[in-house]
Amino acid sequence: MQCSLQGKNAIITGGGSGIGQAIACLFAENGAQVRILELKAESAATTVERIQNAGGQAQAYACDVSDQTQVTSTVEEILRRDGRVNILVNCAGVAHIGNLEKTSEADMDRVYAVNIKGVYNGMYAVISPMVAQGGGVILNVASVAAAVGIPDRFAYSMSKGAVLTMTLSVARDYIDKNIRCNSISPARVHTPFVDGFLAKNYPGKEQEMFDALSRTQPIGRMAKPEEVAALALFLCADEAGFITGCDYPIDGGFITLNN
């Protein structure tokens, strides 16, 4: 099945790298005009260049998703330019490793600000315009950590659980406004973050630890960002028009087979 986003305007937070970048590129490849909100302007510029070199349409906006004023003003600027927002993908996020005792108040505040408040800010900024235009699609990136206990992920799991329940709430509240809201829950995905984490914490043993982490997935490997992007494309396309209020694990069997 070929999904098309032709004529759709899509805002993607965190589109400068990893999963967000893969989603931005695939959406543009399938006809969407992509607007990237990214804290690091240089990362967003790289994604935009890739999209434009492939013949797609994209523009980057430097934006801290944890700052509501920045998010709302950026969305307003996009609306003045494009007239409407058909799709929002909340992908911006930060990680934290540590159990309860190793999670400081500063750690909790940082994870909350980006992973929870950032998702809220994005949805808050687009929901009224979507209602006014007669509909839209919101997709939030949660995690398998929202569904199962993962060691040393106290703050991160907290935040992704909130993403999941915010998704369900928005889906319920706006179903009669023709607004669909879903989430996807990846397990481990091979992104630059993973490579950076291994280089920092396991110098000289990167490949060994990469293989060990890959084996924690029942399927025997990490996901590719492009695989997550393919699921996002379907859920944001008209072909998924009967789907709302759902979370989709993309986890190589992690939730159901890793017992």
Q: Which residues pair with 60 in a beta bridge?
A: 36
The active-site residue out of 61, 156, 174, 248 is: 156
pLDDT digits (tens, 9 = 90+) for 131-177: 999 999 999 999 999 999 999 999 999 999 999 999 999 999 999 99
Among residues of the chain, what percentage have pLDDT more than 70? Answer: 99
pLDDT digits (tens, 9 = 90+) for 49-107: 999 999 999 999 999 999 999 999 999 999 999 999 999 999 999 999 999 999 999 99
Q: Which residues pair with 88 in a beta bridge?
A: 11, 138
Average of per-residue pLDDT values in the chain: 95
Question: How far is residue 7 from each of residues 22, 60, 103, 239, measured CA to CA in Å?
Answer: 19, 18, 44, 15
pLDDT digits (tens, 9 = 90+) for 99-111: 999 999 999 999 9
Nearest to residue 226, comparing CAs of 36, 27, 31?
A: 27
pLDDT digits (tens, 9 = 90+) for 118-131: 999 999 999 999 99
* Interacting residues of 254 by C-beta distance below 8 A, sequence separation 6+: 144, 148, 187, 216, 217, 218
Query: Residue 75's Cα: distance from chain center in Å?
Result: 17
What was the pLDDT predicted at 259? 57
* 258: DSSP letter: -
What was the pLDDT predicted at 113? 98
Q: Is 124 a catalytic residue?
A: no
Q: Are 93 and 114 in contact (CB under 8 A)?
A: yes
